[in-house]
Amino acid sequence: MESEHRSGCPINLSLEVLGDSWSLIVIRDIMFGDRRHYRQLLNESEEGIASNILSDRLKRLTAHGLVTKQSDPAHKQRQLYSLTEQSIQLVPVLVQLGAWGRKFLPASPELSIRARILDEGGPELWADFMDELRVMHLGAEPRASAESVFEKLEKAYQEAVAAGRSS
Amino acid sequence: MESEHRSGCPINLSLEVLGDSWSLIVIRDIMFGDRRHYRQLLNESEEGIASNILSDRLKRLTAHGLVTKQSDPAHKQRQLYSLTEQSIQLVPVLVQLGAWGRKFLPASPELSIRARILDEGGPELWADFMDELRVMHLGAEPRASAESVFEKLEKAYQEAVAAGRSS
DNA sequence: TCTCTCCGCTTGCACTCTGCAACCGGTGAG
DNA sequence: CTCACCGGTTGCAGAGTGCAAGCGGAGAGA
């Protein structure tokens, strides 16, 4: 009856779900890149994920309840992937991972901007961002917000790209 | 000249180093379990890591500067593994991973205690813990502290184990 | 000195997972 | 009717994983 978990340690259990090279990359792309379709995730992937791996990960993430899939009624073959509350709550994990990578690994300046803003913004900013994700993915009611965190991150990224090109 | 990184995204770079089932488990055991020797890591592993995998991961982590290895001058064949500043700064990542696993996955109560205390303690407690790790692993000067976080975690864990047994 | 145990690993093997490229049937637009 | 695009699947070679057994060196006891 008991599961085949390696142990009941919460860190271990998280790693059993997320402990591979691609799962968090897919979630990152859906979350920060707003890529909601298979081809988008495949072709706009910064790291060049293979189609079978993407397919497998989307299945796994769906099975674990981190992603949901719904078909667009207008475009029948078009599938829309959405985050769930579980994966939205991975924001702090991704922020900390990004902060660590930014500090110790050769991260490119443009791609580090988002990590920096989220790191410096602290838990309040994460919470705002998570609320926006709930609106975008779970259909939650939008709450009045001075400036969308998502847009703020996107804008900063675009500025960094432009600055990188001109310099 | 450029490296073979999949991309310059800080999250991706972190995953290239830590994105597998075992690396963070090994760091967790050194960090929270104070397992400093190979046999200790092998035999006291909650998840039952295989010896070749452990050997490989220790090499990888050493190569990436997350772990250092030194031989005990008294016991020549005995190797002491230590954390580095880089891996000590993974504390927030591990805490967030633990908090997430505790929230959404079937974590056992005893093993969740540490995760809960660190989660609830917040960044100040993490900083204290990281200072203690610097003393234990980097030979930093101990700073006066009312109660060692390490001992606090250990004590809470032992109490939870005892409570679990008696109930 | 001889033996016994423990030390950090290494080796061999079967099996699975990964990454790449080619390919698939269904669908909507022109 | 055609054609590009949709979310995938398939085949294959090579890399990674998990298990069990074994290795030489060292420390301890007799």
Model pLDDT, residue B1: 41
Q: Count of A–B CB contacts within 8 Å?
A: 160
Show pLDDT as tens, one digit a residue, over chain B (167 residues).
Answer: 445 789 999 999 999 999 999 999 999 999 999 999 999 999 999 999 999 999 999 999 999 999 999 988 778 889 999 999 999 999 999 999 999 999 999 999 999 999 999 999 999 999 999 999 999 999 999 987 778 999 999 999 999 999 977 76
Alpha carbons A24 and A40: distance in angstroms, whole number: 16
Note down the domain range covering A66: 1-83
Q: What are phi and psi of A70, to 5 degrees?
A: -140, 145
Model pLDDT, residue A3: 54
Check whether residue B99 and residue B74 sit in a common domain.
no
Check whether residue B76 and residue B109 sit in a common domain.
no
Q: Which of B97, B112, B130 would best serve as a mutation to test chain A binding (most A beta carbons within 10 A)?
A: B97
Name the residue facing B15 among A11, A21, A110 (closest C-beta): A21
Final residue of a domain: which of A83, A108, A136?
A83
Check whether residue B71 and residue B114 sit in a common domain.
no
Strand D and B55 CB separated by under 7 Å: no
Alpha carbons A95 and A116: distance in angstroms, whole number: 9
SS3 B72: coil
Q: Are strands B67-71 and A79-83 parallel, antiparallel or unpaired?
A: unpaired
Final residue of a domain: which of A83, A118, A153?
A83
Q: What are phi and psi of B50, to 5 degrees?
A: -80, 150
Amino acid at B69: K
For A14-64, how does the pLDDT look when each residue is reduced to its tens digit (9 = 90+)?
999 999 999 999 999 999 999 999 999 999 999 999 999 999 999 999 999
Alpha carbons A97 and B39: distance in angstroms, whole number: 29
Check whether residue A63 and residue A133 sit in a common domain.
no
Model pLDDT, residue B104: 97
CB contact under 8 A, B11 and A47: no
Check whether residue B56 and residue B104 sit in a common domain.
no
Strand D and A38 CB separated by under 7 Å: yes
Q: Return chain B residues 82..101 having CB < 7 Å to nucleic acid strand C.
A: none
In Å, how far are A8, A87, B10, B77, B140 from B7, measured between CA atoms?
34, 23, 8, 40, 35
Model pLDDT, residue A67: 96
Reading the block at residue B103, the tokens are 């929230």
Check whether residue B106 and residue B78 sit in a common domain.
no
Total-model pTM: 0.94
Check whether residue A135 and residue A97 sit in a common domain.
yes
Q: Is the pLDDT of residue A1 over 50?
A: no
Reading the block at residue A111, the tokens are 């791609």
